[in-house]
Chain A
Amino acid sequence: MKTSIKNSKSNTLSKWVARFQKISILLVLLLIIVILSILTPAFLTPNNIMLIIKQSAIIGILAVGMTFVIITGGIDISVGAIIAFSGVCSAYFSTSSYPDMPIIIPFMIAVASGALVGVINGIGIAYCKIPNMIMTMCTQMIARGFALVITKGTPIFDLNESYKKISNTFFFSITDSSGEKIFMGIPSLAVYFLIVFAAGAVLLHFTVYGRRIFSIGGNKEAARYSGLKVEKIEMSAYVICGALAGLCGILMASRITSGNGTTAEGYEMNAIASAVIGGVSLTGGRGNIFGSFIGALIIGTIANGLDVMGISAYYKQIIQGGIILMAVFFDIRSRNRKD
């Protein structure tokens, strides 16, 4: 299954289609949905489905970036801290003291600050050959530290209205005659999620750049001999991952209406889990964005479903761990057979 640079464009396309059909993980998601809706009738409602997509959006966007990094054979555990850092940076200039700040500015600040951490990660890993886990662990601590220094430990709140609207807007909501909302509408977070997913899928699976990402993950030396600038490509994956985490930063800060230095701890693990559930190989060279997309939805669906059922936190962890393990096991078994 390892994609090599020899593949022609059409070949990649057909492989992508073939892979798409083979995705067993989608069945797992459907199975989980079916079971949850049998257990609680309140689960499968249009509003709750919208909630699940909304609640999966931030992890999902992280998972898209993480997929690029993992396919190159790397890992990035700094993304949770980047969310805090870039959220704080963008919130800093979006308090009500700056009521007329064009909304594009905090977006650019967030993405740029995330990308900056990504550049540092990339230089450290690709050029200085620092082990990826160590490098991103260090930037994780540094980014989180900066987030706390900037806020002096106290969250930045009092954000301006346009900033608050970024993650708290709904489109096409339906209200009945008595003024009660019967359909909450499509959450803006879901829209960002779908855009990032689509853009990520095109970039990774339908461009030359995407094929290079696969080839350095498949075999770095072979890629180098065939003339690819391996370091540059490897670094670019971390920049993409960082920039997307930066985007999540502003989405998170807007969602929780505050720039909070302590937010999103441990989100990197959920992003990695989403990608791995979706069939991205931790050894690199294999995987696809669609799988990661479904992986994030699986994690979001389980969390939502268990909350709907009101399951206590202790059992929740056991069940979440069990289901993720089952999903990965199922996926790996079916993949091994195909190989």
Chain B
Amino acid sequence: MRKNRKQMAMASLLVCGTMALGGGILAHAEENYKITALLPHTNNAYMQTLSQAIEDAGKDAGVEITVLTCDNDAGTQLSQMETTISQGVDGIILDPFSTEGIIEGVKAANEAGIPVVTIQETMTSGTEYLTGAVYIDTVKAGELMMEQCVKDLGGKGNVAIMNGKLGEPVQLNEHEGFDKVLAENPDIEVVVEGSGDWTAELATTVAESWLSSGKQIDAICSNNDGMASGIRNAIESAGKTGEILLYGLDAQQDALQAIKDGSQTGTIYMDGPGEAVAAVDALKKTFAGETLESKDIIIDPLMITKENVDEYLK
């Protein structure tokens, strides 16, 4: 029994220790308004920038921000939404992992009188429960990328498409943008398509197989810069740097550097920090009792090539 008690004490010590670690992280200044931001993940540079931008935007606006991530799981995000609502925050910034999957949560927030502003993704239905929706037009981003690609190829050539995780809204939207441009340019042929699940590792493997398949590929359009960085490696290993045009999206610093160096052709700037500021701003207006001019707050994507890369390269 004595030993048992000792173990009990040890166990509680362990728990207390880990919890205290958590408690320490929590200790931040008390502010008037509390906003919780729900993000799918912070596993890549883009999402890390976004998460940081939300916290900065909150600091500038004088509101307390908590960022929670759900590890790319629709069920977990719904749980976090429920938990956040029951904790009685003043507002929620939501980047829905699954736009259909989160509807019940948004509905519940609406019932509890908590305003929800989405960022990045928009809801496919249930928009009536939202206070606002900030987004970059990703269909437009797809169009921009393919238009640039068509222009660079002179209207004729073989294109490969590296998709993000299949079925995710951004992937589908970008593809819709690609398809719009491709429909107008019959001489551009999509010779191969694959998915790198948004990650450089997988994109490298897929691109390597493409390049060793013997197919003629003139350009590769990637759904994000993370995957483009993997494709860059594959192109380099195959000794085809500069021969194959490569486009990404997100305007990550490494991609911008690569554009400057010539190992990537273009990328698209998605103004994540701009979204964060707009979302916090929209919520603050709501707290003050103002109504938003429009629920849709659209931020335009911008094409970056060698010509204007210096403006974005830090």
Contact = CB atoms under 8 A, between A and B. Distances in A.
Interface stretch (A67-75, A224-232, A255-263, A279-287): A255-263
B202 to A, nearest CB: 15
Nearest to B72: A265
A313 interface: yes
Contacts, number: 147
Nearest to B82: A51
B22 A306 contact: yes
B19 interface: yes
A326 B101 contact: no
B185 interface: no
Interface residues of A, number: 60
A263 to B, nearest CB: 5
Interface residues of B, number: 52
Contact of A323 (B4, B18, B86, B172): B18
B86 A47 contact: yes
A245 B86 CA distance: 29
Contacts of B4: 334, 337
Contacts of B78: 255-256
Nearest to A317: B71
Contacts of B69: 312-313
Contact of B83 (A154, A168, A252, A307): A307
B67 A256 contact: no
B22 A39 contact: yes
B96 to A, nearest CB: 10
A333 B165 CA distance: 43
B26 to A, nearest CB: 6
Contacts of A28: 11
Given A155-B101, A257-B103, A322-B14, A265 B75 contact: no
B41 A157 contact: no
A304 B11 contact: no
A21 B21 CA distance: 33
Interface string B153-172: 00000000000011110001
Given A148-B166, A153-B167, A330-B11, A265 B67 contact: no
Contact of B84 (A184, A307, A326): A307
B36 A35 contact: no
Contact of B25 (A151, A258, A311, A330): A311
Nearest to A265: B73
Interface in A167-191: 168, 181, 184
A319 B80 CA distance: 17
Most chain A beta-carbon neighbours within 10 Å: one of B42, B74, B78: B74
B87 interface: yes
B124 interface: yes
A205 B18 CA distance: 36
A326 B11 contact: yes
A42 interface: yes
18 contacts: A31-B11, A51-B86, A55-B79, A155-B100, A155-B101, A184-B86, A255-B104, A256-B100, A256-B104, A258-B101, A263-B98, A303-B79, A309-B26, A312-B25, A313-B42, A313-B68, A319-B18, A337-B3
Given A256-B78, A307-B68, A330-B11, 14 more contacts: A51-B83, A51-B86, A153-B166, A157-B125, A168-B104, A184-B86, A255-B78, A262-B168, A265-B73, A266-B71, A311-B26, A313-B42, A315-B21, A315-B25
